Structure 1
Amino acid sequence: MSVLPRPTAVLCALAAAALLPPTAPARAATTLAFGACPDSVPRPPAPDRVECGRLSVPLDRHHPSGPHIEIAVSRVPASGTPAERRGILLVNPGGPGGSGLPYAVTKRAKLPASVRRSYDVIGFDPRGVGGSAPVDCGAMGGLFAAPGADPVPVDPRSERAYLTAQRHMADDCAAGAGTEALPYLSTEQTAYDMDAIRAALGEPRTGFLGVSYGSYLGAAYAARFPHRVGRMVLDSVVGPWDWHDFDMIQSRALLRARNTFFGWTAAHPDRFGLGADTAAVRRSYLRVRQGLAARPLNGFGPAEFDRAVYRALGRTERWTSLADGLRGYLTDATVDGLRPPSAFDGPESRNYEAANRIVKCADGPGPTPREIVTDVRRIRRLDPQPLLTGLEATTCAYWRHRPDHRTPLGGPATPPVLLVASAHDPVTPIRGAHELRKLLPGSRLVTLENDHSHGVFASRGNTCVDGTVAAYLVDGVVPAGDVRCGGAGLPGPQPFSPSGV
């Protein structure tokens, strides 16, 4: 039995069922009543337990007597003694669009034992996601078509088609989510929801662990509630830029990561058979993409290929599967090894993609169509075959609601924050951590050197990183200066598996 049924319609015009009527608004709950969790939330091993509840919050924090939505919350209580307890640790897995409800269980299982003993780990689905009035953008301008159109425009005609798809995506989101609701699905409003969770749990401060987009959310919380910040860890940091600018910075980092992947693959020619030098592996890669562009296989074309590469480049442990998938296409004309393990067009993925665009476009002014074309041409001058999968804020050029301000991040009143970054992370390049720390005086940066993956703390198995962060979370130990931890470097290739990914 689930106590967190998903709303049947979406916010404002998003979801009449999830919203409490504006004519008789209910006040946000001052406490959270916990019970059973939905099946989507895994159960931790005994004696730990997970429990779930719902919290009513205003759709617009500046109009608390207006419509309300409900936020889905999960909790895994601290396993230590009362004397060891340090409070609550809210966690966010990234996105925008990532579901945090199960993350309280899955991330907690990877945390150092001292952290598990010290904190109630609190997960929550941000507004518009999962169990919190989920949004739906329908066809999203053809994003879920299989095979999708080639996502890399190469001439004026394809550039116009690219912009038309972004306009249609914006129209689909306005129709699915409701134009009136779009301004309130922002990171800033979610930061207010975080503080409502804190208050409902009766805690004076919020501990927080945010990964990827979660770092941006944490910085937004610090901007609004610096006096409520406990110990905050921002891992794989998103820089304090407009979202389109961040997407372009990421696209350049992905080109560097892909070249590193080509070199790594070339170092193992007998294992992969894609070439003995970087240029040869690149030619093999382009043969695969060009072949799929000319003749998609089983709904798998250039758009699906680029998404698979984008996903694989973010974690070096996926590189073997990507190289095997390239070889599988070239030798056996199959794309089975390139397909991600989960279907892209499932309901959770559709909600993720919708929430991702809606939140980004609610966070600040978007680019103009001319800026988009200029930036795409610029990245193509760096490499004729770039990865544009992460250019998600391009939709904001045609958004129905144009925000009049950017989401504020950080501030001088924020207590010391710990930033964590991988030196060569292509998804959130380390440049973002250096820029964000300027807005967080007294913060420290923990860098995992010689590492090329996204997600560091309680993820890469590095004792230096994990020990430094655990000491900060449990005992409040702020390093005297920045910390550099030695990484393991690129892994060796995994044994060949004919089943692919």
Structure 2
Amino acid sequence: MRRSLSLAVIAIAVAATLPGVSTAAETVQWGRCSEKPGPTRLECATLEVPLDYRDPDGRQIEISISRVASEKPAQRRGVLLTNPGGPGVTGLGYPAVLAASGLPQEVQDSYDLIGFDPRGVGRSAPVTCDLTPEQLTRGGLAPYPHNASDVTRAAGNARTIAEQCATSPTSWMLPYITTANTARDMDRIRAALGEPKLSYLGASYGTSLGSVYTTLFPGQSDRIVLDSNLGPGGYDYAANRLFARGMEDRFPDFAAFAAAHPEYGLGSTPEQVTAKYFELAKRLDERPIGSFDGATFRQITFEDLYRDLPPLAKAWQALDQDGTPPPVPPMDENATASRFYVVCGDSRWPGTIAEYQRNVAADRLQYPMLGPAMANIGPCAFWPHERVEPPVRIGDRGPSNVLMVQNERDPGTPLSGAEKLRRAFGKRATMVTADQGGHGVYPLGRSTCANNAVTKFLTTGHPPTHDLTCAAEPNE
């Protein structure tokens, strides 16, 4: 949510005074990431950083970092810090995943690939909300309200979770698990590695993290790649509601695919496939299969639209014809808790039930597939009021070294949000948009045009001369 000009000035002043860079580089001691067999090139280390950057010599927390080192020292440019998204997602193994799954060799030769678990996540001072198995369900965390009374009921559960977070054993970290402080940790990593500048590759929520980093540390930013972009407000309530727009953008791809493959039996036209969605959701609202209800069906469908479409069509077919629900991966307590810590701590969310009821009603009309769930009330409405600092405001001050890449029909980070971030960066950024659906462009996307633009930028420093739209390539 936007702040007044006075608060924006305060944010800039706080960012300028908060120490984010070590005065002397620490020595990082690399070693095996675990005792278990694993990728031999992935090394791990730990680094101490301030809990509160307003008190850099005060209490410290330990964060875990990882590395896949370049095997071509003569070609090595520096380090490429990476983040796979989230918030709440571990990034320690991400360099190995990138190296094994298509990151071009010339990029691997040019950089040491650096990963890390953001503060609060995984091996980096993990936080908890003491969430129960019942609370850790997709339908429970994103209930689909059919009326105003459902919003009121959801408020009770949301308040309970917020209170659990505020009284958990890690609640002392609550005000400090923020995107801005994680960005400051990134600069501590840069300094500890003895690097004058940092290149970066971040996806999804990682685009918000990268945007904040290069805003706070423009002089230490080298080549910044942001893939599948959140808007300039980061992961705020507006971004949460935008998921519903993303599903409406992406679903026509699935409807066309399913209609073109009659073997799934989901309809012979896109309109029939769309009607099947609402039919299955209503059926599961009225007669859940165990814990698999309509809310879970909507959420699982949304999540599967991130990826290739055939698995989703097969799951619908089994559900429709045999009554067999798809497997639902369990939610991780630390991942869910740390997600709350970040999204609720970064910005203020509406605080009255009535406002959520109005937004749910509006989004039910505008985005009926998922809108009510994404506009519904959650723990952020009842989050403790203490904020260490206002959100960082993304702007156009700094070098022109940001390359944004974006799918046109991304359900998780819709194009409309990316376009707002592009406008906020102004002359600092160039944007490459690929005519394709799904979440994530580089390096595994189907757009050769977009992939080549990112590789060229990372290896030569030259982005496209102007914003670029890449034509569609072979269908899913």
Q: TM-score, normalised by structure 2?
A: 0.88
From 139, 152, 157, the equivalent of 2:149 is 157
What amino acid is the match of 2:327?
R
CA change 1:467–1:177 in 2 (3 A) is: farther
Residue 421 of structure 2 is matched in structure 1 by: 436
What amino acid is the match of 1:470?
T
Deviation of 1:78 (Å): 0.7
CA change 1:392–1:490 in 2 (3 A) is: farther
Deviation of 1:173 (Å): 1.5
**Is residue 226 of structure 1 aligned with residue 218 of structure 2?**
yes
**Is residue 99 of structure 1 aligned with residue 90 of structure 2?**
yes
Deviation of 1:28 (Å): 9.7
Distance, in Å, in 2 between the alignment partners of 1:437 and 1:239 is: 8
**Is residue 368 of structure 1 aligned with residue 351 of structure 2?**
yes
Local SS of the residue matching 1:97: coil
Residue 12 of structure 2 is matched in structure 1 by: none
Deviation of 1:371 (Å): 2.8
From 149, 153, 159, the equivalent of 1:167 is 159
Residue 447 of structure 1 is matched in structure 2 by: 433
- Preserved CA contact (<8 Å) 1:248 1:375: no
What amino acid is the match of 1:106?
V
- Preserved CA contact (<8 Å) 2:363 2:375: no
What amino acid is the match of 2:31?
G
- Preserved CA contact (<8 Å) 2:28 2:47: yes
**Is residue 55 of structure 1 aligned with residue 40 of structure 2?**
no
Deviation of 1:444 (Å): 0.8
Distance, in Å, in 1 between the alignment partners of 2:221 and 2:251 is: 38
- Preserved CA contact (<8 Å) 1:216 1:409: no
Q: Which structure dedicates a bigger proportion of its chain to helix?
A: 2
Distance, in Å, in 2 between the alignment partners of 1:436 and 1:411 is: 10
Distance, in Å, in 1 between the alignment partners of 2:413 and 2:443 is: 17
Q: TM-score, normalised by structure 1?
A: 0.84
Deviations 1:413-439 (A, max 9, x none): 244211100111121112222221233
- Preserved CA contact (<8 Å) 1:417 1:442: yes
Deviation of 1:473 (Å): 1.0
From 364, 372, 377, the equivalent of 2:361 is 377
Distance, in Å, in 1 between the alignment partners of 2:284 and 2:215 is: 46
What amino acid is the match of 2:255?
F
Deviations 1:378-411 (A, max 9, x none): 1111244425565698421110134351233354
**Is residue 130 of structure 1 aligned with residue 122 of structure 2?**
yes
Deviation of 1:148 (Å): 4.2
Deviation of 1:149 (Å): 8.5
Residue 457 of structure 1 is matched in structure 2 by: 442
Residue 313 of structure 1 is matched in structure 2 by: 305
Deviations 1:120-150 (A, max 9, x none): 0000000011110111122279532597488
Alignment of 1:56-455 (within 5 A): 56-80=48-72, 82-109=73-100, 110-139=102-131, 142-145=134-137, 148=140, 151-176=143-168, 178-241=170-233, 243-268=236-261, 270-315=262-307, 317=308, 319-335=309-325, 338-340=326-328, 343-345=329-331, 349-369=332-352, 370-386=354-370, 394-403=378-387, 405-440=390-425, 441-449=427-435, 451-455=436-440
Residue 19 of structure 1 is matched in structure 2 by: none
Deviations 1:452-483 (A, max 9, x none): 11100102143222221111111111321122
Deviation of 1:363 (Å): 1.0
Distance, in Å, in 1 between the alignment partners of 2:249 and 2:430 is: 26
Local SS of the residue matching 1:181: helix
- Greater length-normalized contact order (CA 8 Å, ≥ 6 residues apart): 2
- Preserved CA contact (<8 Å) 1:423 1:452: yes
Local SS of the residue matching 1:107: helix
CA change 1:356–1:141 in 2 (3 A) is: same
What amino acid is the match of 2:148?
P
CA change 1:147–1:379 in 2 (3 A) is: closer
From 439, 451, 460, the equivalent of 1:475 is 460
- Preserved CA contact (<8 Å) 2:142 2:374: no
CA change 1:84–1:383 in 2 (3 A) is: closer
Distance, in Å, in 1 between the alignment partners of 2:442 and 2:64 is: 25
**Is residue 486 of structure 1 aligned with residue 471 of structure 2?**
yes
Distance, in Å, in 1 between the alignment partners of 2:139 and 2:345 is: 29
- Preserved CA contact (<8 Å) 1:365 1:405: no
Distance, in Å, in 1 between the alignment partners of 2:410 and 2:285 is: 28
- Preserved CA contact (<8 Å) 1:28 1:56: no
Deviation of 1:262 (Å): 2.4
Residue 15 of structure 1 is matched in structure 2 by: none
Distance, in Å, in 2 between the alignment partners of 1:490 and 1:206 is: 36
- Identity across aligned pairs (percent)? 36
Deviation of 1:253 (Å): 2.1
How many residue pairs end up in the alignment? 449
Distance, in Å, in 2 between the alignment partners of 1:392 and 1:103 is: 32
Deviation of 1:274 (Å): 1.4
Q: RMSD across aligned C-alpha pairs, in angstroms?
A: 2.4
Distance, in Å, in 2 between the alignment partners of 1:154 and 1:289 is: 12
What amino acid is the match of 1:324?
K
Local SS of the residue matching 1:71: strand
Local SS of the residue matching 1:432: helix
Deviations 1:11-59 (A, max 9, x none): xxxxxxxxxxxxxxxx998121111103689416xxxx11100000110
Local SS of the residue matching 2:167: helix
- Preserved CA contact (<8 Å) 2:349 2:381: yes
- Preserved CA contact (<8 Å) 1:252 1:379: no
Distance, in Å, in 1 between the alignment partners of 2:306 and 2:61 is: 34
- Preserved CA contact (<8 Å) 2:148 2:357: no
Runs of 5+ consecutive residues of structure 2 not aligned to the other structure: 1-22
